[in-house]
Amino acid sequence: MDMSADGSRPNKAVELIIQLSVDRVSQLLSKFIKVGAQISLEKAYVTDLSEATARVNAEDVQSEVIGSIVDVTGDAPFKFLFYADAPACLTLTDLVLQRKVGTSTDFDIYVQSAMQEIGNILASGVCSVFAADFNIRIKPTPPKVAHDFLGTILQEFVMETAAESDQVLIVESRFHIVRYNLRCNMFILPSPGTEGVINKFFLDQI
Amino acid sequence: MNIENRVLVGVGDIKIDKAPAVLSTFLGSCIAVCLYSPSRKVGGIVHFLLPKAREMQGEKIPRKEKYADTGIPELLRRLKNVFNIEKDDFVAKMFGGANVLKMVNRRVGEENTAAARAILRELKIAVVGASTGGERGYKIDFDLATGKVFCQVFNEEVKEY
């Protein structure tokens, strides 16, 4: 795990809550698709917004993805994004629907729904870490799903936070699904001030 | 167009350059305003997020690039300062302003499009090409050797502006 890939490190409390969230989300996804899934935390860093979006796009130019964006409101608001590239979305849909992998071939309503549901479950998993382990009251809103360029979805994801702050804390995770070479990613983007709230709740716990 | 010369423009950013650079960006509800001087083959992009700075920030404007009303004049200022070109030499093209997440309460894309048009009109810079609106994202490549913008709406063919 690299906590400071391209920018400064988040604080210890945030690092801990991120790691716990990733572990919880791995378990939830494995149960949901009934296949072993491991989510590894790749990077967590505070960085300049423009550089962050340009860099992700440079790595993944023109990629077609389906993304599920969840706004989490409450004491420590954040935005959650789960996205997968086109082939991974089709495989995930078959796994979710418990049918033979390869059945899904088009980006139909089933694919959109499966991605929405995965986004919902994963965001709820992160919320449960905040609520159960840290007593932070937060609530996910229904996911918004979009099928588009990765660059476009990332832009929509960071937009509200970017309006309020030039620096963003980005948490990038990569998914490894047993038997399938799937490429999925999860981003957590705390709203300005959320880091401080997490720190306060963390200190209250110890 | 040589992709090796590509310069990626992030969200809330300005990039200026000269031929043979190609300035590229992805857009949703944001707008990219491209200014180009055909005689000097230089140009730039501002990729802004919101129409007005003061709505969000009060009197403090930490980053002009994020807003139409501060970002477009800032792009023009940088181009004039770096390349010593007068405003009348520039033409504009604009792209983006989509409603990708199909929001119903606030259509930021439409607001951004209207703001960009109003500011360019105020600056008396002609808009010679545009593709805005819809519900799908945009990818643009702005070729400074020709001034052409290659614009692809998601799942559609690339069009030249």
- Looking up residue A58, the CATH number of its domain turns out to be 3.40.1550.10
Residues of A in contact with B26 (CB under 8 A): 57, 149-152, 154-155
Looking at residue A3, what is its pLDDT? 46
- Residue A150: exposure state from Cβ atoms within 10 A (0-12, 13-18, ≥19): buried
| Contact residues for B122 (Cβ-Cβ < 8 A; gap 6+) | none
B62 part of a folded domain = yes
Most confidently modeled range among A5-9, A81-85, A197-201, B135-139: B135-139
B157 part of a folded domain = no
Looking at residue B71, what is its pLDDT? 96
Looking at residue A9, what is its pLDDT? 63
Please answer whether residues A140 and A72 qualify as being in contact, where contact means their C-beta atoms are separated by less than 8 angstroms: yes
Residues of A in contact with B102 (CB under 8 A): 144
Distance of residue A138 Cα from the nearest chain B Cα, in angstroms: 22
Asked if the Cβ–Cβ distance from A162 to B137 is below 8 Å, we say no
Question: Which amino acid is present at A36?
Answer: G
B53 part of a folded domain = yes
A37 part of a folded domain = yes
A7 part of a folded domain = no
Residue in A closest to B55 by C-alpha: A163
- Look at chain A and report how many structural domains it folds into: 1
Looking at residue A1, what is its pLDDT? 46
The ipTM assigned to this model is: 0.89
Residue in A closest to B28 by C-alpha: A152
Q: How do B6-8 and B22-27 pair as beta strands?
A: parallel
Give the tens place of pLDDT for each residue, A110-150. 999 999 999 999 899 888 888 887 788 888 899 999 999 99
Please answer whether residues A135 and B6 qualify as being in contact, where contact means their C-beta atoms are separated by less than 8 angstroms: no
B2 part of a folded domain = no
Cα separation, B94 vs B128, in Å, equals 9
A5 part of a folded domain = no
Name the residue range of residue B93's domain.
Answer: 8-18+28-135
Whether the pLDDT of residue A178 is over 50: the answer is: yes
B155 part of a folded domain = no
Give all strands of the β-sheet with B158-160 in edge-to-edge order. B6-8, B22-27, B138-143, B149-153, B158-160
A178 part of a folded domain = yes
Give the SS3 label for residue A135.
coil
B46 part of a folded domain = yes
For residue A58, what pLDDT band results from cuts at 50, 70 and 90? low
Task: Please report, for the domain that includes residue B65, its CATH number.
Answer: 3.30.1330.200
Asked if the Cβ–Cβ distance from B101 to A144 is below 8 Å, we say yes
User: Which of B100, B102, B158 best probes binding to A when mutated, by most A CB atoms within 10 angstroms?
Assistant: B100
Taking the whole predicted model, whether its pTM rises above 0.95 is answered as no
Tokens 């804390």 belong to residue: A169
Q: Does A148 touch chain B (CB under 8 A)?
A: yes
Q: Which residue, among A144, A142, A185, has the nearest Cα to A56 in the 3D structure?
A: A185
Q: How far is CA A138 from CA A67, A73, A76, A110, A125, in A?
A: 22, 5, 7, 29, 12
Cα separation, B50 vs B52, in Å, equals 6
User: Which of A148, A187, A191 best probes binding to B when mutated, by most B CB atoms within 10 angstroms?
Assistant: A148
Q: Does A16 touch chain B (CB under 8 A)?
A: no
Q: How far is CA A112 from CA A87, A173, B99, in A?
A: 13, 21, 17
Name the residue range of residue A108's domain.
Answer: 12-205
Please answer whether residues B10 and A49 qualify as being in contact, where contact means their C-beta atoms are separated by less than 8 angstroms: yes
> Can you list the residues of chain B whose pLDDT is less than 50?
none
B142 part of a folded domain = no
Residues of B in contact with A159 (CB under 8 A): 11, 28-30, 49, 108
B41 part of a folded domain = yes
- Look at chain B and report how many structural domains it folds into: 1
